[in-house]
Amino acid sequence: MQRRTLGEFSVSAIGLGCMNLSHAYGTPPAAEAAEALLLRALDRGINFFDTAALYGFGANETLLGKVLKPHRSKIVLASKCGMTGVDGKRVIDGRPETLKRTCEESLQRLQTDVIDLYYLHRRDFAVPIEDSIGALSDLVRAGKIRSIGLSEASAATLRRAHAVHPIAALQSEYSLWTRNAELGTLDACRELGTAYVAFSPLARAFLTGTLRDPDAQLEAKDIRRQMPRFEAANYAKNLELLPGYLAIAQEVGCTPAQLALAWLLAKGEHIIPIFGTRQPEHLDDNAGAADVTLDPNTVARLDALINQRTVAGPRYNAATQLEIDTETYGD
């Protein structure tokens, strides 16, 4: 697979987000299936793996540590701090002492001496961003982590953080149906030499064309049930966008998922999408997007078809949005 630059690292143009192997999308797969999927990603040329202390309240890091330890020298390993599970609840805590303690716990679960890319998972509005990044900078100097990232952060926060320590990557949602990155963070990343790691590049399965009825297809504990775009009325409107999208995929000669990923790769050399899946065939399909090249006219057609004006519903509900430090379209 072709490579892209992330800080000091050369990473696969498409990475694997590992959250759904332990967290958030209903019942996790069996351990054997999850392990096989991680190894299959390596076989397909993926060397960039993304996890977090939050995912499965440590279970996801433990999984990656067990499976990827023999391949540690071949991969770029990313994890996150600042949002963890405490007494069974999700807690945002950006205090320096908490971040340092979380790092030590993550190193043990990941079975490694150093984490290549360590994100602040969420900005803690009760703690100056300079203090949180200062703590992560201490971890770099201590040899515990190699580089620092931000997650769900605005361009303004990125600039403040970068003034304390270079920020190697900013991770946030970016896809045809979530364009908030275009309000400032993409440009700020390009200016500062920061990679933009795009999660949910397939619009949480919408752009695969396989999720037609969320009420029937999603498990009760699937996080998408809490997202306004997946509510029945909004989703019915969003489904009206699919025929045109699927027609473009057919014209290009790729699958719908590959089209979504290829669009992101075409939007900038500093953009690195990470997808999540539990299905080996989906992993193979998604990895194949690295070989799909879109011409400018196709990119423009996709831009016009699915965007913040044509998609129904905000990406998060009001309570979740209050925790997010990203630019919004006011929806």
Catalytic residue among 55, 118, 119, 316: 55
Cα 241–243–244 angle (5° rounding)?
Answer: 75
Place of tokens 């065939």: 281
The span from the CA of 328 to the CA of 331, in Å, is 7
The interaxial angle of helices 256-266 and 242-252, nearest 10 deg, is 80
The span from the CA of 87 to the CA of 73, in Å, is 34
CB 11 within 8 A of CB 52: no
The span from the CA of 56 to the CA of 199, in Å, is 18
Question: In terms of DSSP bridges, do strands 3-6 and 9-12 run parallel, antiparallel, or are they unpaired?
Answer: antiparallel
The span from the CA of 156 to the CA of 125, in Å, is 14
Structure tokens at 119: 């994100």
Alpha-carbon 306 to chain mean position: 20
- By three-state DSSP, how is residue 46 classified? coil
Buried-exposed string 273-303: b where 16+ CB fall within 10 A, e elsewhere: bbbbbbeeebbebbbbbbebebeeebeebbe
The span from the CA of 217 to the CA of 210, in Å, is 10
CB 38 within 8 A of CB 67: yes
The span from the CA of 142 to the CA of 154, in Å, is 28
The span from the CA of 23 to the CA of 56, in Å, is 5
The closest alpha carbon to 278, from 71, 16, 80, belongs to 16
Active site residue 55: yes
Catalytic residues: 55
